[in-house]
Structure 1
C-alpha cells in the first residue's frame, strides 16, 4: 500500500449526460476509517449481487466516454456498436474479472497484505503483459464511481461515494507504485 497520506478529487463535467472531462488529482491518500470500510463493504454487497451486469455497464461506459481505452482490448477494440459490445463474451469475461478483483479487495479492506498482493498481480499484468497506461486506472476509478452512484443511488450516498473515492485513490496509488517497481514507462509500452 502507499505509505503516504492522500487526497483524491474526482471532478466530472457533463454535457448532455456524457463525461467530457475527468480530472483525477492524487496528492496523498487518506486512510479509510472503520466506518468507511463498513460503508464500502455494505454498498458493495448490493452491487456484487449483479456483478456481471454492473461490470459490463462500467466497461461500456469506459469505452463510450474514453474510446482510447479500447486500444488495450484486441478481442473487441474494433466493435463500435454498444449492443454488440454488451453481448461480447470476451467483454463479459473481463467485466467479471474486474468485479471479482474489486470484490477480493473489498473483502480484505482490513488485510493490507492481501490487498497489496492482489494489486501487485493486477499491476504487473497490466504493466508488463498488457502495457496499459496507468492513467486508465484513474479514469476507470471515475467511471466506477459514476456508474455505482447512478445504478445504486440508495446505497452509494455522498458519504459512501466519498469512502469509495478514498479507496480508489489508495488503489491507484498502489498500482502506480507497482508500475514504478517494474520500471514501466510510456516509452516501454507497445504500440499494439
Structure 2
C-alpha cells in the first residue's frame, strides 16, 4: 500500500505528538490484542500476560521501537524492517493475521488516548501506515 505525501506527513506529525506516551501505547495495544484475540497469546507461552506485567510492557516497547524506526524510514520500509520480517517469518513463525490484530489494537489505543489529535485523516493515514508495516512483515512468508 503506497503512502501519499499527505499520509506520511500525518503519520510523522501524529507520532511526534504522541512520542512521550508511545511505550504506554505499545503496552496497552498488546494488552488489547491479547484480550480481544486470545489466540495471539500462543506466541508468548512463558510470559506473564496479565495487564501491566513487565513482560507485556517490555514487548510493547519492542513493538514501539520497531514502529518508531518504521516512521523514521517510511520511504524505505522494506529495508528498515527486513530483519524483523525475517525473524517473524522464519524463526518465530507468527501467523500473519496477528499483525492485523495488533494494528487494530494500536489504532484503538492511539484513538482512545488522543481523541482530539486522531482525526479521520490521521486515522486513515495511520491505518495505511500500519497496514504497510504489516505487509512488509509478511512479505517473507511468500
TM over 0.5: yes
Larger radius of gyration: 1
- List structure 1 segments (4+ residues) > 4 angstroms apart after TM superposition: none
Give yes or no for the alignment of 1:49 onto 2:11.
no
Query: Unaligned 5+ residue runs, structure 2?
Result: none
1:103 alignment counterpart: 68
The 2-side partners of 1:101 and 1:125 are apart by 13
The 2-side partners of 1:133 and 1:122 are apart by 14
- Asked if the contact 1:48/1:99 (under 8 Å) is kept, the reply is no
Report the Cα offset of residue 72 of structure 1.
0.2
Superposition RMSD on alpha carbons, in Å?
Answer: 1.5
Matches within 5 A, 1:1-192: 29=1, 31-76=2-47, 79=49, 82=50, 85-86=51-52, 88-110=53-75, 112=76, 115-180=77-142
- Considering fraction of residues, name the structure with more strand: 1
The 2-side partners of 1:148 and 1:51 are apart by 9
Query: Unaligned 5+ residue runs, structure 1?
Result: 1-28, 181-192
TM-score normalised by length of structure 2: 0.91
Q: How many residues align?
A: 142
TM-score normalised by length of structure 1: 0.69
Higher relative contact order (CA 8 A, sep 6+): 2
- Asked if the contact 1:40/1:160 (under 8 Å) is kept, the reply is yes
The 2-side partners of 1:60 and 1:149 are apart by 15
Report the Cα offset of residue 53 of structure 1.
1.2
- Considering fraction of residues, name the structure with more helix: 2
